Amino acid sequence: MSATTDHAAQADAVEHHHAHDEHVPSDGYFIKIAIILAIVTALETSTYWWPDSMDSFATPALLIMMAIKFFMIVSIFMHLKFDSKIFSLMFYMGLVLAIGVYLVFLFTFQFFRP
């Protein structure tokens, strides 16, 4: 009797595991995302060598690249694409709040003044 129930429990566990695997991307997918993140990070660090005439462009470019990396890491590596939308909303509101606070700081100290 217990062998039959053990076999049924194992079959249910395997079926549940395969249903969960539908949401897990392949290793190649994560490698592509890692390459994209490395390229964006290289672009971010390259702003140190930009000429002084591009300083007013560097900060908005860094903010955009920061948002791209945040979105990719949160949605892909933290698997928010597959979770409840309320969790995604909480993370994205945090991003909006962080960018807002940073922009207020920059405007307060007149960073964007010509």
Answer whether residue 7 is part of any domain. no
Answer whether residue 49 is part of any domain. yes
Answer whether residue 91 is part of any domain. yes
**Single pTM value for the model:** 0.63
Answer whether residue 114 is part of any domain. no
Cβ 37 vs Cβ 76: under 8 Å: no
Number of domains in the chain: 1
Answer whether residue 5 is part of any domain. no
Answer whether residue 98 is part of any domain. yes
Cβ 83 vs Cβ 89: under 8 Å: no
Answer whether residue 84 is part of any domain. yes
Task: Determine the straight-line distance between the first and last CA of the chain, rounded to whole angstroms.
Answer: 82
Answer whether residue 15 is part of any domain. no
Q: Which domain holds residue 87?
A: 27-108
Question: Which tens digits make up the pLDDT trace of 45-85?
Answer: 998 888 888 877 888 899 899 889 988 888 788 777 777 88
